[in-house]
């Protein structure tokens, strides 16, 4: 485990790869971010563009990134160097790995602060939410944001939980944690959706998410939805390359990636349906922003029969989802430090998580002490989110598509991805033309060059 000389660890089965990658994909992106972004981007227009982006950009690139990882067998930077050499291409392609490592660092910093909110609410759910008027729940969330001590405390707990699993290594840490948490997560989700269908306003939620209104699609919606498609599938941040590098040769990449994307999308839609069902049943505001989850659900839990248990179970689910994703944000940088700088896993985990923790502390302070700071009209939290989700992830995705479909030898790609004939040509054509053009068009559109 201590140096790059030893044989590389691998998942113990193909089921394990599926589980850990779903663990990476299904996270706060699905349960916290998707509902509030849908709420603040006008509902169904956002959902529609998001689904289109998953289909024409997300799934094809998820396959591409997995195949790069499995073929390269290393950390994201080393993988790109090995593959660039193999293809006789420039070593500049290593920048893909670098964007990923830096991006994952930034994402985990704010992700951990949000996961910290969830930890505090799990604690409160355990005590039971007292029945209060709805304004009191908004005030309670506001009070949490205003308290640097509580934010930093929970952020620290969450980073420690994440580091502890990564410290355990690939199979006995990451794989084992996912094998416990992911099945539990699905069990809880099924229970909650059944509950939501009985106890809340499901038809209203359905209309809000799926009533098709193309006139509501604008630049902002397009850009946000594309960014979110990357975020929710964990694309471009080294996570998929790294998890793919622990993948055995016998696994079918296309089938597994389709199943992963379906699971991720399914969880987002189910979470969205149940949350908006409660929002509408309670007469709340769908456009509440990042606090949506934490203002609406406690209110609902405080009123529904059995809400004490349901509330606790729900927040445990969100913690599991966030935890398994955070692990996948930490691991790529750790493998880089281990393989490139010959650090032991322990030192690498400590060093990297301390750095991320520090940036997270700045994020926590940006909600209170440092709230006056802003750049381009954005506070630190929105700034880091925008920089990673809307810029670094699509950029890395674009480069991954270009590298896979233009720089690599076609025969190598075909052999690695394991598709034949028409199916290969379809996927390859999408990665070669459709995904890159779509990403570039959305970029150009938002800077106002076209449209």
Interacting partner of 329 out of Na ion, ligand PHE, none (Cβ under 5 to 8 A depending on kind) = ligand PHE
Structure tokens at 393: 């992830």
Torsion of CA 33, 39, 42, 43, to 10 degrees: 80
- Backbone phi, psi, residue 326, to 5°: -60, -40
Asked whether position 25 contacts ligand PHE by CB under 6 A, the answer is yes
Of 175, 172, 110, residue with least CA distance to 367: 110
Residue pair 34/210 in contact (Cβ under 8 Å)? The answer is no
Phi and psi torsions of 288, nearest 5°: -75, -10
Name which position in 119, 182, 226, 239 contacts ligand PHE (CB under 6 A): 239
Selected from 19, 22, 24, 129, the binder of ligand PHE by CB under 6 A is 24
Query: Where would I find the beta strands (DSSP E) of 206-324?
Result: none
- Phi, psi at 200, each rounded to 5°: -130, -170
| Residue 75 interacting with ligand PHE (CB under 6 A) | no
Judged by CB under 6 A, the chain residues 76 through 135 that form the site for ligand PHE are 107
Q: Which of Na ion, ligand PHE, none binds 208 (CB below 5-8 Å, type-dependent)? A: none
Does 30 sit near Na ion (CB under 5 A)? yes
* Residue 331's binding partner out of Na ion, ligand PHE, none, with CB under 5 to 8 Å set by partner kind: none
378 DSSP β-pair partners: 375
Q: Which residue has the tokens 């490592």?
A: 101
Closest residue by Cα to residue 79 from 330, 332, 388: 332
Per CB under 6 A, the list member of 16, 21, 22, 29 interacting with ligand PHE is 29
In angstroms, rounded to a whole number, what is the distance separating the alpha carbons of residues 439 and 183?
34
Q: How many CB atoms are located within 10 Å of the residue 440 CB? A: 12
DSSP single-letter state for residue 379: -
Q: Does 25 bind Na ion (CB under 5 A)?
A: yes
What does the DSSP 8-state code read for residue 131?
P
Q: Which of residues 219-238 bind Na ion (CB under 5 A)?
A: 232
Tell me the β-bridge partners of 192: none
Name the H helices within 128-252. 134-145, 148-167, 176-199, 202-210, 219-232, 239-245
231 is a site residue for ligand PHE (CB under 6 A) = yes
Cα–Cα distance for residue pair 360/350, rounded to 1 Å: 15
Which range in 25-33, 247-255, 357-365, 411-419 contacts ligand PHE by CB under 6 A? 25-33
Q: Which does 65 bind (CB under 5 to 8 A by kind): ligand PHE, Na ion, none?
A: none
CA distance linking residue 63 with residue 59, whole number of Å = 6
- Choose among ligand PHE, Na ion, none what residue 24 binds, the Cβ cut-off being 5 to 8 Å by kind: ligand PHE
Binding partner selected for residue 239 from Na ion, ligand PHE, none, CB under the kind-specific 5 to 8 Å limit? ligand PHE
Contact 295, 137 (CB under 8 A): yes
Task: State the binding partner of 178 from Na ion, ligand PHE, none, CB within 5 to 8 A by kind.
Answer: none
**Smaller CB separation from ligand PHE, 94 or 162:** 162
Among 94, 122, 232, 256, binds ligand PHE (CB under 6 A): 232
Q: Per CB under 5 A, does 404 bind Na ion?
A: no
Q: Which of residues 39-58 bind Na ion (CB under 5 A)?
A: none
The CA-atom distances, in angstroms, between 115 and each of 154, 162, 246, 318, 321 are: 8, 11, 27, 8, 10
Window 267 to 326, contacts with ligand PHE (CB under 6 A): 325
Q: Measured from the CB of residue 450, what is the shortest distance to ligand PHE in angstroms?
A: 29
* Residue 328 makes contact with Na ion by CB under 5 A: no
Contact between 209 and 43 (Cβ < 8 Å): yes
Residues 329-368 that bind ligand PHE (CB under 6 A): 329
Pairwise CA distance, residues 32 & 275, whole Å: 10
Q: Find the residue with minimal CB distance to Na ion.
A: 232
Q: Which does 325 bind (CB under 5 to 8 A by kind): ligand PHE, Na ion, none?
A: ligand PHE
Task: Compare residues 335 and 389 and give the one whose CB is closer to Na ion.
Answer: 389
Interacting span for Na ion (CB under 5 A) from 17-25, 238-246, 353-361, 393-401: 17-25
Q: Does 28 bind ligand PHE (CB under 6 A)?
A: yes
Q: Which of residues 357-396 bind Na ion (CB under 5 A)?
A: none
- Both tokens of residue 307? 């809400």
Judged by beta carbon distances under 5 to 8 A according to partner kind, the member of Na ion, ligand PHE, none in contact with residue 324 is: none
274 binds, among ligand PHE, Na ion, none (CB under 5 to 8 A by kind): none
CB 232 within 8 A of CB 264: yes
**Should residue 27 be labelled a site residue for ligand PHE when binding is judged by CB under 6 A?**
yes
Binding site for Na ion (CB under 5 A): 25, 29-30, 232, 264
Binding site for ligand PHE (CB under 6 A): 24-25, 27-30, 107, 231-232, 234, 237, 239, 325, 328-329
């Amino acid at each position: 485990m201590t140096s790059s000389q030893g044989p590389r660890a691998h998942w113990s089965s193909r089921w394990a790869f599926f589980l850990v990658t779903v663990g990476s994909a299904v996270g706060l992106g699905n349960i916290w971010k998707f509902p509030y972004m849908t709420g603040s981007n006008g509902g169904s227009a956002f959902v529609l563009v998001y689904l289109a982006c998953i289909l024409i950009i997300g799934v094809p690139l998820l396959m591409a990134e997995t195949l790069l990882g499995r073929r390269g067998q290393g950390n994201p930077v080393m993988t790109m160097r090995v593959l660039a050499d193999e293809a006789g291409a420039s070593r500049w392609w290593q920048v893909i790995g670098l964007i990923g490592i830096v991006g994952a660092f930034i994402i985990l910093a704010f992700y951990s602060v949000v996961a910290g909110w969830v930890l505090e609410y799990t604690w409160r759910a355990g005590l039971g939410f007292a029945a209060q008027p709805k304004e009191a729940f908004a005030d309670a969330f506001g009070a949490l944001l205003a308290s640097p001590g509580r934010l930093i405390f929970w952020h620290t707990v969450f980073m420690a939980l994440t580091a502890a699993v990564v410290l355990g290594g690939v199979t006995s840490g990451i794989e084992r944690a996912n094998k416990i948490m992911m099945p539990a997560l699905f069990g809880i989700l099924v229970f909650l959706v059944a509950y939501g269908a009985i106890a809340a306003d499901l038809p209203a939620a359905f209309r809000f998410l799926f009533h098709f209104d193309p006139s509501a699609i604008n630049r902002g919606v397009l850009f946000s939805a594309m960014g979110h498609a990357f975020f929710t599938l964990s694309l471009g941040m080294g996570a998929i390359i790294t998890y793919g590098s622990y993948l055995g040769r016998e696994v079918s990449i296309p089938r597994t990636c389709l199943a992963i994307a379906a699971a991720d999308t399914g969880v987002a839609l189910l979470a969205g349906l149940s949350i908006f069902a409660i929002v509408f049943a309670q007469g709340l505001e769908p456009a509440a922003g990042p606090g949506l989850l934490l203002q609406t659900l406690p209110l609902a839990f405080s009123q529904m029969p059995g809400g004490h248990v349901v509330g606790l179970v729900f927040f445990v689910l969100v913690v599991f989802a966030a935890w398994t994703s955070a692990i996948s944000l930490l691991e790529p940088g750790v493998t880089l430090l281990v393989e490139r700088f010959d650090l032991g896993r322990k030192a690498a985990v400590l060093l990297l998580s301390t750095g991320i923790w520090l940036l997270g502390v700045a994020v926590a302070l940006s909600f209170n002490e440092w709230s006056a700071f802003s750049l381009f009209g954005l506070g630190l939290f929105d700034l880091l989110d925008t920089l990673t989700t809307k810029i670094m992830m699509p950029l890395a995705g674009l480069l991954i598509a270009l590298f896979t479909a233009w720089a690599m030898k076609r025969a190598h790609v075909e052999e690695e991805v394991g598709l034949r004939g028409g199916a290969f040509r379809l996927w390859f054509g999408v990665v070669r033309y459709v995904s890159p053009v779509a990403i570039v068009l959305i970029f150009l559109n938002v800077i106002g060059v076209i449209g």
